[in-house]
Amino acid sequence: MPTFFIKHLTKYSYSNLIIDGANQIMLHPIQDEFQSVISHTLSINTNPKIETYTNFYGNTVGTFMILEPHNFLSIVSEIEVNTKEKRFPNDQKPVNELWAELKRISYKPKFLDYLNYKTFDGTDAILKLLSTKDLDVLSPFKIVLELSEYIYTNFKYIQGITDVDSKLDHVWKLKAGVCQDFTNILLQMVRMLGIPARYVSGYICPNESGSRGEGATHAWIEVYIPFYGWLGIDPTNNAIANQYHVRLAVGRDYNDCTPVKGVFKGNAKSELFVKVKVDTFENAEELSITLKKNEIEVNNNSYLQNVKLLQQMQQQQQQQQ
C-alpha cells in the first residue's frame, strides 16, 4: 500500500487589482476503499473561510470568497494519501451477457450522464473503427483496452499545443495533445459503444516504468464494467489506472472536475501558474508560491489597508477608461 505526498500549487496573477472573487475548488481527494486520505491542508492568501458540500457526482466541492482588493490568488494544496491496488475484472462471463447487462442498465438515471457522447469531426471515423470490432467476441473490458491502445498509438503526446478549451475537432485534426485531450476522445469512443464512462481528474504518481503527465494534474476515464464496477483506464499511458493514480473528482467531462475556477469584479487579465510535485516522502519545502514585485499580501483584517487598495484599484480603472 504505497503512500504519496502531493503538493499542488495554483496561482492566478491579475494585471490590476480585483475585488469580490468568488471561487470554486475541487482539490479534495476522493476517500474510499482504494484511496485513504491521511491528511489534507489548503492554504489560500487572505485565509478565507472555505465552505464545502458534496455534489451530484459525489465529489467534495469547496467554495470561498475574497472580497478585499487583491492582484493575485494563491492556493496551496498538500495531501498525504495511501492507495491500494485494485483487482482487475476476471472477464469470464459470456460476452453476450456482458453486453446485455450494459443495455439493461442504460436506462438507469445514475448512468444516463455517462452515456451521452458529443458528435465532432472524428465521429464518422470512430464509428467506422468501431464497426470493425466483433462484439460477439470482444468483451466491454477488452474493447476499451483496445481503444486506449489506439489512442496511445495514433496520437502524439505534445505539451503546449492544446489547452483546457481546445475542441475535440482540433485535437482530432492534430492527432496530438495531452492527457485531457486523450481522455476526451476516449470518452466519446466508449460512450458510442453504450458503455458508461466518466471523466476523472487527479494525479499520476511516480512508478518504476515512468509516466506521462507527472508534474501537473492528470486526467483519465473510468468505465463501468458489468458485474464488476468502475475501472480506470489511462489512455495517455495506455494503462489501467491503479494504485499510482490519485483521484480528485469524477464527472461527465472536465467542466465537472475543474480543480479551480471562479469569477471576479475588475478590469484585469489573469495569468495562471500551476505546478504539482508528487513524492513517496514528505518534502514540503520543494515547491512554494513566489510573489511578483507588484503583488501585495492583503491582510483581510486591516480596514485601512483595504481602503487604500480599493482607492488604488479605482484609480487604475479610471486611467484605463
Predicted pLDDT of residue 315: 58
Rounded to 5 degrees, φ, ψ at 36 are -115, 120
Handedness of CA 141, 114, 84, 153 (dihedral sign): positive
Contact between residue 64 and residue 286 where contact means Cβ atoms under 8 Å apart: no
Contact between residue 284 and residue 78 where contact means Cβ atoms under 8 Å apart: yes
Give CA 16 to chain center in angstroms. Answer: 29
d(CA 247, CA 218): 9
DSSP state, residue 162: -
One digit per residue, pLDDT tens: the chain, 321 residues?
789 999 999 999 999 999 999 999 999 999 999 999 999 999 999 999 999 999 999 999 999 999 999 999 999 999 999 999 989 999 999 999 999 999 999 999 999 999 999 999 999 999 999 999 999 999 999 999 999 999 999 999 999 999 988 999 999 999 999 999 999 999 999 999 999 999 999 999 877 666 787 767 899 999 999 999 999 999 999 999 999 999 999 999 999 999 999 999 999 999 999 999 998 877 655 667 777 767 766 655 444 445 455 555 555 555 555
d(CA 319, CA 316): 5
How do the domains of the chain map onto residue ranges? 3-83+258-320, 95-242
d(CA 227, CA 93): 9
Question: How much of the chain is helix, strand and coil, in % rounded to 5?
Answer: 25, 35, 40
Predicted pLDDT of residue 304: 45
Show the cell assigned to 114.
455517462
Give CA 104 to chain center in angstroms. Answer: 30
CATH number, span 3-83+258-320: 2.60.40.2250
d(CA 96, CA 87): 23
Give CA 279 to chain center in angstroms. Answer: 19
Say which CATH topology domain 95-242 has. C8orf32 fold (3.10.620)
Predicted pLDDT of residue 303: 41
Predicted pLDDT of residue 295: 75
